[in-house]
Structure 1
Amino acid sequence: MTVIAAHASRATAAWRDSDLSFRLAVIAGLVLLTVAALAPWLAPFDPDQQTLLARLSPPIGFEGAKAGHWLGTDELGRDILSRGLHALRITLGIGMAGASLGMLLGLTLGLIAGLKGGLVDDLVAGAIDIQIALPFTLLALLAVAIFGGDLTVLIVVLGIAGWETFARVVRGEVMKLRGQPFIEAALAAGASPWRIATRHLLPNLVSPLVVMFALSFSQIVLLESTLSFLGLGVRPPTATLGSMVGQGRDYMPSAPWLVIVPSLLVLLVTLVVQLLGDSLRDRTDIRLRQR
């Protein structure tokens, strides 16, 4: 109990010492995650329920608004608030899964290339160069068009989109750290490559990985929105924030709320993730903690 109390006391002190932007980002992130997790219970309507008599109703406070539809309805009379909550849940899930997949793939290949060197390093470096040179948005469009807009396929496609960034940074950091005295001492002591990677290299890679994960998460959310905007994302009637923007673009002059609501949610998600990434980078960088 004493150890738990000590950890709780240190965590409380760290929270008090943190800057305002970090606190706001953490609170906003927790609110977004909570809202997304509780979307089925918070949504006032079924997100796919169509009420044609209430189609294109404006938000509450505007002339012609329908009772209960706080943010209005779309062209099929579906509640925007309900669809936005469910779309936020799916978009966050896609972003988290895709960024995690890309980080895992890039981290693994970067560690192997940096530690092994030689032919293995040349092969990984060549794959990174090919990935960077190819217009991945077009490849994603092709893959989704061939394999369909299944959620699993979409996550795999979006996850592959950013692995080369992780691999390139991790490979460079490992090659730089490989010549440090503490790595040479571990090698001289007979440490296995697995122990060197997990005990000595990974702690020094946490800070850049946090930054890259935040960037990758935002890029995946935007790329998913692009694919959904073009009609190649998650198949209807399932809603994502990008598909809501894409479906509402034809009604912008007469019903701008169809685009404004999901666009603001995309902006909020990417902003919160970037703020969290920047703040966590400073707190996980070993070199900054040692100063």
Structure 2
Amino acid sequence: MRKLELEPDTYDEKFTVLTKGANTKVKDWILGQIGTSKEILEVGCGSGALAAQIALNGNDVLAIDKNSQMVNSARKNYPSKDNMKLAYQVGTITDLPADEVSKDVVVTTFMLSELRTFEQQIFLRNVWKILKSNGRIFIAAEFVPSGFWKLIFKIKRWWYKKKLRRLRLPSTSIVKWFYQYIEPLGFKMVTERKWRHGSIRAMELKKVEKNGKTEPGYYQPPQKRFKGLRSQLQIYKCIFTGQSDHFPIEPGIYKSGEPDRKSPIIVTVNYVFTYVKVMRALKSIDAWVLCVDSRGINVWCA
């Protein structure tokens, strides 16, 4: 997608070819779910095609994108017409241009893959803050399918990333742990649709306010074992193949011993070898171990 953004005027056409038309099915599904007369923020609006359609259906739409070229292209190709409430501006996930509890709906399509793990959580927390009570977010993204199609998907993905490396262009990431963030951060899955054997999915999440809380929650990954035969085999695997492959664990904060609010925080990378070595060296000292997202590469490269 980042490569396509270099040519905003042909973005829609080339992206439709890339997804074999699944992106248009996603947009049609979202349009059918949203309804009318809503205050809506679209994050990562791209060409502006979806934002314009949502506005034509009688909604008040603010569409943002961090790429100023895409925003300018959207203003040119899909301008706000008479009786349309549609505005475009440059914006990012860390500073959403909306007041707290001001939007009925947030929409984002094929933007999550451009965010790293912690960025996805930051985005969901910021969306929770600007949504009204029982507000909804519609998300579409690329995921890894299951079964036989998982192998085909990974082969295609490997070839595509190899091509991008040759052209020295940045690549997007597979949305891997996103489902685990939904409930802890304060959302509930309402419905989900899948296309292309599950590699492209769209979902509707609803904001949940438990016990009158006014802040979104936090996500903490499940504790990962660092002792025993399995952990030792992972160490050997990293030693023998770790220079040519990545072995990530889920980024996040882990426990050593029984830490509390006053315990120190040890910062390291989300590389299996490093995590296991650090946890063993701590010998259950009470501390928090923060594994930052180093893309699963070792501590020296990170």
Bigger fraction of residues in strand: 2
Bigger fraction of residues in helix: 1
Q: Which has the larger radius of gyration?
A: 1
- Structure with the greater relative contact order (CA < 8 A, sep ≥ 6): 1 or 2? 1
TM range (shorter): under 0.3
**TM-score scaled to structure 2, two decimals?**
0.25
